[in-house]
Amino acid sequence: MTLLRIILIANVSLLCSDASLAQSAAMPRSDLPYHWLDRLDIKYNTPSGLHTSVKPVWRKDMVQLVFATDTLFSFIPDRDIEDMQWLLNENNEWQSRDTSLSEREYLDSTRTFYSLTDDTGRFEYATSRKPFLKFFYRTPAHLFEVNTKDFYLRVNPLLNFRMAAVSESDQMLFENQRGISIRGGIDKAIYFHTDILESQAQYPGYVNGFIRKFDAVPGAGFYKTYSSSIFDTPNGVDFLLANAYVGARISKHVNIELGHGRNFIGNGIRSFFLSDFTTDHFYLKLNARVWKFHYQSVFGELLRPDNIPGDQLLPKKYFAAHYLNFHVGKNLDIGLFETVVFAREDQFELQYLNPIILYRTVEGALGSPDNVLLGLDVKWNLWNRLSLYSQFILDELRFSEITSGDGWWGNKYALQMGLKYIDMFDVSHLDFQAEYNLTRPYTYSHNEGIAHYSHYNQSLAHPLGANFKEAIFRLRYQPSSKWFIVSRAMFANTGEDQDTSNWGMNILLPNDSREQDEGNRIGQGVSTQILMFGLDVSYQIMHGLFADAFIQTRRKQSDIASRNSQNNYFGLGIRWNLGHRWNEF
């Protein structure tokens, strides 16, 4: 039995779902709507049943959170109302068009309820005064939409065009991405979503170095070289991004989804569990949300290029992961995570299909051939201003070796600690985030160099791989509903390899090629410091359409002088229905 049978099972489940239970497509993870979601979660702590660590978030959940907050709080500042109205406009398939209708629906087994409609008069179902050619942009957020009793559809353009000048050369950097986004639902039972994005780009030197080293564009994977008659493009790349999924509820509290895309688990800028740094992959996902629990299982198919020349089928490997998040109290969430990566000859290991078993026990019964990781995360909201969060991932550990202080190579783990502080100094929408991450050498790697925690030569967790310490910061200010300012900084100490050495940073290398068994420490190898600073200023012309100005500098200092580099650039851009993607590594 291969993964094909899993697909068939998923399709049958979709067809057998209860049509009376509605479910929605997810909101793609991008900086602006998810930052507003964080603000609502921290500031109002509304009991909405939403678990913010599981991303992407369903669009219906965002609408429910807005109306739950609206129902429970008599006073909401105008600036927050504007943010919430933006979220309603973006996800208006879940907003009632009859504002006089009052319906109530239970969020979960705690019997907390919210209003599906606006009882306070603070929100509206926004429509355009003059739709374009009568059929387009009937509402502010959507190029084209269909709304019937049994079917809804949203179609929107995708655009990201940026040009930047490099201070140290006369070469221009650019990104030229165009595409389309389509989402919809049928019979209040099945939902679907697809994005297609055609891309050409010329990136700064450090990104080009990543492409050469891993034979993949960050976040994209496969690419072709690109040359332009307009721009001087010695390092141009051409690639296509496409994600799509179909899903449904199979019971009141259980959801199933089959797709090609990315997932993210955590509350930080980075994730040590599962991040969206790498390119899209094939997956089957189950979600169960009941009482104070959200339980998610993901079964995925990954690619490992392994220097295979073009026009050949790439070798595959697989992973299975499950995550349980629990609302301990109104302000406190605790999550448990487990994942296993394994390689079989074009076959999924059937024993890992069990969504509730401990993978470590299965791996041991199979002869311990696979790569299992265990994780714990915590989020604690305080005083309606502050959120503390943390993640810990364990790859392998011997307590006796920790107490000995000998630096045994097999003590492999990663730790994250972070905070979010909103409305600093009582200034509305002045928000700060600080995060500290560290990873021991050889974490996420595997002894055979196959079952490492990666997809298409890119980490499924942190973009730096392992063997590093990092501090990363965000300072955001939104002076009005139209203007957005983001200041960014990253400081990292890493230990790189030299020639054929393996000091534990590159997770693609087999860890049995390690340099030593004892005396290992974070930053070993070629000591390297990376400093990045960025400033982004955006103006929202209309819903989802942004004009951008940006500046970024990156400096790398290494014990090997030839590896030192400096990248400085500044430029302008325009984005339509796409968020920022900062290549911060």
Each residue of 547-579: pLDDT tens digit?
999 999 999 999 999 999 999 999 999 999 999
Contacts within 8 Å (CB) and 24+ apart, 162-166? 162/548, 162/550, 162/571, 162/572, 162/573, 162/574, 163/571, 163/572, 163/573, 164/550, 164/569, 164/570, 164/571, 164/572, 165/569, 165/570, 165/571, 166/204, 166/567, 166/568, 166/569
All structural domains of the chain: 3-576 (2.40.160.10)
Torsion of CA 158, 160, 161, 166, to 10 degrees: -170
24: number of CA atoms within 13 Å, CB side? 19
Return the pLDDT at 307. 67
Rg (CA), the chain: 24
pTM of this structure: 0.91
Can you tell me whether residue 578 is helix, strand or coil? coil
DSSP H or E stretch at residue 394: strand 386-396
pLDDT of 18 reads 40
Residue 315: how many other CB atoms lie within 10 Å: 15
Residue 353 is predicted with a pLDDT of 83
Average pLDDT, the chain: 88
What token pair was written down for 330? 């109104």
Dist CA 268 CA 474 (whole Å): 11
pLDDT confidence bin for 348, thresholds 50/70/90: confident
Q: Does the structure show a pLDDT above 70 at 310?
A: no
Bridge partners (DSSP) of residue 184 are 153, 192
pLDDT score at 358? 79
What is d(CA 355, CA 366) in angstroms, rounded to the nearest whole number?
17
pLDDT of residue 538: 98
Residue 5: its pLDDT value, please?
45
Three-class SS of 371-392: EEEEEEEEEEEECCCEEEEEEE
The pLDDT score that the predictor gives to residue 47 is 81
Question: What digits encode the pLDDT tens for the residues 380-389?
Answer: 999 999 999 9
Q: Among residues of the chain, what percentage have pLDDT more than 90?
A: 70
So what's the pLDDT on residue 108? 45
> pLDDT-derived band of residue 114, with 50, 70 and 90 as boundaries?
very low
Which positions ≥6 away from 157 have C-beta within 8 Å? 143, 178, 179, 180, 181, 576, 577
Weakest-pLDDT range from 101-115, 126-140, 229-243: 101-115
| Least confident segment among 99-113, 207-221, 246-260, 534-548 | 99-113
pLDDT at 442: 96
Is residue 559 within 8 A of residue 527, CB to CB? The reply is: yes
Residue 355 has a pLDDT of 80
* Contact assessment for residue 33 and residue 484, using Cβ atoms and an 8 Å cutoff: no
Average pLDDT over residues 526-545: 97
What average pLDDT does this structure show over 462-472? 97
> Which stretch of 100-109, 368-377, 403-412, 470-479 has the lowest confidence by average pLDDT?
100-109
Angle of helix 59-72 relative to helix 78-90, nearest 10 degrees? Answer: 150
